[in-house]
Structure 1
Amino acid sequence: MPKRKNPDTAKQPPTIQDTTKRERAPKRQKSSPSSSSPPSSSSDFSPLTLCTKWTTKELTLSKSTLPPLPPILDPTLETAALTHSGCKKNAQDLSYERLEWIGDVYLELIASELVYSTFSTIPEGEMSRRRELLIRNSTLSAFSVRYGLDKRANFPEEFQLAGRPKGSTANAKRKEKALADIFEAYVGAIIRSDPKNGYRNAVNWLKALWGPLLEQEVKVEEGGGRLIDKETNPKVRLEQLIGASHVRIEYRDLPGTGQRFVDKQPQFGIGVFFTGWGEEGVLLGEGWDFGKKGAGHKAAERACEHPVLTRLVERKRAFKGARAIAREGEERKGEGGEDGGVIKVQRGV
C-alpha cells in the first residue's frame, strides 16, 4: 500500500515552498549580470573620458565668443544658486552657500583633469599654478560679471551688487568672494539639476571658457613643452662655460623658499654659488619658481648673464691653454727620453 501512494503524492502540485525555491533561482541569475556591470550612463560622469586635453585648434574657435551658459533644469536650484543666505524668504530655503560647497569640488576636479590631460611636460608645482589660475576668486568673479550673474543674484544691499545704491560696508574683497561663490554655486546647480547630462555639459562649457586663459601654455606644450635637452639646459650651459674638476658650482635654497606665495602657491628660491678661478662663494644668480627644479634652471639662466661670467670664462680659457702647453711639453720630454734611450743602446752596441 505505501508503494502505491508514492506515485500519487508525486503527481500532487508543488507546495508553496517548492514554488518559492524555483522562482528565486532565475531571479538571482538575472540580477547578477546587472550588479557586476555598471550602468551605461556611468560613462557620462567619468572625468577620464570627458576631460580631454586642450588643443590650439579648439582654442582658436572658442576664444572669439563667450560659450553659452548652460541652463539649470531645476527652478528651485536655480533660485538657490543666485540667493544669498541673508535674502532667503524662509529659514529652510536653500541658498548659494550650500551649492557653492559642492560646486567648488566640481570645479577643482574638472580643472585638475583638464590640466593633467593637456600638460605632460611640466612639474607638479606648475600644474597647481595653472589650476589655481582657473579657479581662483578673481577669475570666477570676472566670469560671473561677464555672464550677468551679478545682476540676477539676490544679495543684501551692503554688497552693492546689481546696481544697489545704499550699502557700502562690503569691501572689494568680500564682493569678489561673493561673485566667485555664486559662480561655483551655479556650476553645482548645473550638475545637480541634470543627473544624466549635467556633468558633461559643465565640462564642455568650462573647457571652452577656461581655454583662452592658457592659450600660450598650450602652444608651448604642443611645440615640445618644457622638455629641456643638453643644448638648452642652462645648468649644462653654465657648467660648460666655467666648470672644471677643481671648481664648485652649488645650488642652494634661498631664505624664504617655500614661504612666499603667488596665486596661493608656494614659491621656491634657488641661488647659484661659484667657487674657483680666484673667486670664493660668489652668488652668480637666483631664481624663483613653483618647483625647485624650475627655480634652479632660472637661477642658472641668470648666472649665464652675470657680468663676472666673462672674467671667469677668460680665466678658464687661460687655465686650459696653460695646461695644454704643459701637457705638450711633458709629451715632448717623454718622447725625447725614449729617443735618448735608443741612442744609448745603439752606442752601446
Structure 2
Amino acid sequence: MSEQIPTSALVLLESNFVYPPLPPITDPKLKKAVFTHRSLVNSLPSDLQIDWESYDKSAHVGDSLLDTFITCLLHAMYPTARPKVATDLRSKLVNREINSHISRYYDLPSKVKTSKGTSGTFQLSNDEVGEVYEAYLAGLFYSYLNLKSLTSNDEIDFIGYGKAFEKLSNFLILIYKPLIKSLYDDRINKFDYLIEISEGSKSELNTFTQKFKISQPQYGNPELIWPYWIPENERKGNYGKVWQNTCTVFKKDGTMITCTGMAEGTRVTAENVAAYLVLQQLKGQGRNTY
C-alpha cells in the first residue's frame, strides 16, 4: 500500500501541533491598529476618525509577507519543487481556514475592538478572524522596523526591511516548516515533471514507429481515477481525480510494450505521458530490438 501523506494543514494543526510563543508587538500605536476593526472607526465622528486606524491595511501587508515567506521557505527546503507543486502547497498553507485557526489559537479575535453591533458577526467570520492574524504579522514586521504607522512617510530603508523580515521569519518558520515537511510529497513533484516533459509525445511516438516500421501505438479507454497520494478519507466527488490511459506498441518480434500514463487536465495529456514512457523504453532498448 502506498504511503499516505496528509493533504490538509488543518488536520496537522488540530493534532497536537506545537505552536511557538507569539512575539509581542512592542509599539502601542501599531498594536492599537492591529486590534481595531473598521466598524469601530466608521462609527466614530469624522473629526475623531483621523486618530484611529483599522487593521485593513495591516492585513493586506501581512498577507503579502506571509505569501513571500512561504514561497521562499518552500524553495529553500525543496529546491527541485516544480512551481505548480509549490504554488498548490502554498495555497494549502495560506488561506482563510488556516489563518483563522492560527488566529483563534493565539486568541487574537478576542482582543479586537469593534462597533457594538459587529462583535458577534466578526467572531464567526473566518475571513475577518484570519485577517487579524495577517494584520498581526504586519504589526510585528513594522514594530521590528520601529515604524510607528503604516501611513508613515519615512524614507524606505531596504536593509532595515530585510532585517525586519528576518526577525518575523524566525517566528513563522516554527509554524510552517513542520507543516511543509509533513505535507510535501515528492511523488506529486515527479508527476508534474512527467506531464511537462511528455508534451507532444504522442506525435513523437507516431513518427518514431513509422520511421522504424513498428505497429502504430494503440491507446486504451481513458478513465478518471484517484491518484495514489490522495487518502481514502479525502476522496469525495470528482475533484482531485486525474486521467489515466495506456499506450501499447507491438514490436516486430511479437512482444509488446505497454505503459500507463496519469495526468491532470485532459485525456490527451495522460496519453502523452503513456506515449512518453513507451518511447523511452523503445529508445532504451536500441534499434536492433525493435
**Per the alignment, do residues 171 and 274 of structure 1 end up closer, same or farther by CA in structure 2, a change over 3 Å counting?**
farther
Name 1:155's counterpart in structure 2. 114
1:130-145 maps to which residues of 2 (within 5 A)? 130-145=89-104
Q: What is the alpha-carbon distance in structure 2 between the residues aligned to residue 131 and residue 215 of structure 1? A: 12
**Per the alignment, do residues 176 and 133 of structure 1 end up closer, same or farther by CA in structure 2, a change over 3 Å counting?**
same
* Aligned partner letter, 2:31: E
Correspondence 1:288 to 2:258: no
Q: What is the alpha-carbon distance in structure 2 between the residues aligned to residue 226 and residue 190 of structure 1? A: 34
Secondary structure of the residue aligned to 2:114 is coil
> Which of the numbers 76, 87, 111 marks the counterpart of 1:128?
87
Q: What is the alpha-carbon distance in structure 1 between the residues aligned to residue 101 and residue 116 of structure 2? A: 20
Kindly state the Cα deviation for residue 123 of structure 1 after the two structures are TM-superposed: 1.8
> Which of the numbers 100, 109, 131 marks the counterpart of 1:181?
131
> Which of the numbers 217, 226, 237 marks the counterpart of 1:247?
217
1:7-22 maps to which residues of 2 (within 5 A)? none
Kindly state the Cα deviation for residue 81 of structure 1 after the two structures are TM-superposed: 0.6
**Per the alignment, do residues 288 and 157 of structure 1 end up closer, same or farther by CA in structure 2, a change over 3 Å counting?**
farther
Q: What is the alpha-carbon distance in structure 2 between the residues aligned to residue 74 and residue 246 of structure 1? A: 72
* Aligned partner letter, 2:49: A
> Which of the numbers 67, 74, 80 marks the counterpart of 2:27?
74
How big is each residue's C-alpha offset from its partner over 1:98-146, in whole Å with a ceiling of 9 and x where there is no partner?
Answer: 1112112111111111112112233211110111122111111100000
Aligned-residue Cα RMSD (Å) equals 4.5
Name 1:209's counterpart in structure 2. 175
**Per the alignment, do residues 245 and 118 of structure 1 end up closer, same or farther by CA in structure 2, a change over 3 Å counting?**
farther
Q: Which has the larger radius of gyration?
A: 1
Secondary structure of the residue aligned to 1:189 is helix
* Aligned partner letter, 2:264: W
Unaligned runs of 5+ in 1: 1-62, 161-166, 231-238, 255-265, 278-283, 302-349
Unaligned runs of 5+ in 2: 1-15, 146-159, 195-204, 225-238, 251-259, 275-290
**Per the alignment, do residues 251 and 188 of structure 1 end up closer, same or farther by CA in structure 2, a change over 3 Å counting?**
farther
How big is each residue's C-alpha offset from its partner over 1:268-317, in whole Å with a ceiling of 9 and x where there is no partner?
Answer: 9645365888xxxxxx886437xx8xx9579979xxxxxxxxxxxxxxxx
- In the alignment, is the contact (CA less than 8 A) between 1:271 and 1:299 conserved in 2? no
**Per the alignment, do residues 183 and 171 of structure 1 end up closer, same or farther by CA in structure 2, a change over 3 Å counting?**
closer
Correspondence 1:83 to 2:26: no
Structure scoring higher RCO (CA < 8 A, sep ≥ 6) equals 2
Kindly state the Cα deviation for residue 187 of structure 1 after the two structures are TM-superposed: 0.7
How big is each residue's C-alpha offset from its partner over 1:74-111, in whole Å with a ceiling of 9 and x where there is no partner?
Answer: 11010101110111353121110011121121111111
Bigger proportion of residues as helix: 1
Name 1:199's counterpart in structure 2. 165
TM-score, scaled to structure 2: 0.54
Q: What is the alpha-carbon distance in structure 2 between the residues aligned to residue 73 and residue 145 of structure 1? A: 21
Kindly state the Cα deviation for residue 212 of structure 1 after the two structures are TM-superposed: 2.8
Q: What is the alpha-carbon distance in structure 2 between the residues aligned to residue 153 and residue 65 of structure 1? A: 25
Kindly state the Cα deviation for residue 72 of structure 1 after the two structures are TM-superposed: 1.1
Q: What is the alpha-carbon distance in structure 2 between the residues aligned to residue 191 and residue 204 of structure 1? A: 11
> Which of the numbers 57, 81, 88 marks the counterpart of 1:98?
57
**Per the alignment, do residues 299 and 80 of structure 1 end up closer, same or farther by CA in structure 2, a change over 3 Å counting?**
farther
Q: What is the alpha-carbon distance in structure 2 between the residues aligned to residue 135 and residue 275 of structure 1? A: 43
Name 2:281's counterpart in structure 1. none
How big is each residue's C-alpha offset from its partner over 1:28-49, in whole Å with a ceiling of 9 and x where there is no partner?
Answer: xxxxxxxxxxxxxxxxxxxxxx
- In the alignment, is the contact (CA less than 8 A) between 2:99 and 2:133 conserved in 1? yes
Q: What is the alpha-carbon distance in structure 2 between the residues aligned to residue 269 and residue 81 of structure 1? A: 43
Correspondence 1:272 to 2:245: yes
Secondary structure of the residue aligned to 1:272 is strand
Q: What is the alpha-carbon distance in structure 1 between the residues aligned to residue 272 and residue 170 of structure 2? A: 39
- In the alignment, is the contact (CA less than 8 A) between 1:271 and 1:296 conserved in 2? no
**Per the alignment, do residues 159 and 192 of structure 1 end up closer, same or farther by CA in structure 2, a change over 3 Å counting?**
same
- In the alignment, is the contact (CA less than 8 A) between 2:34 and 2:58 conserved in 1? yes
* Aligned partner letter, 2:178: P
Q: What is the alpha-carbon distance in structure 2 between the residues aligned to residue 285 and residue 171 of structure 1? A: 47
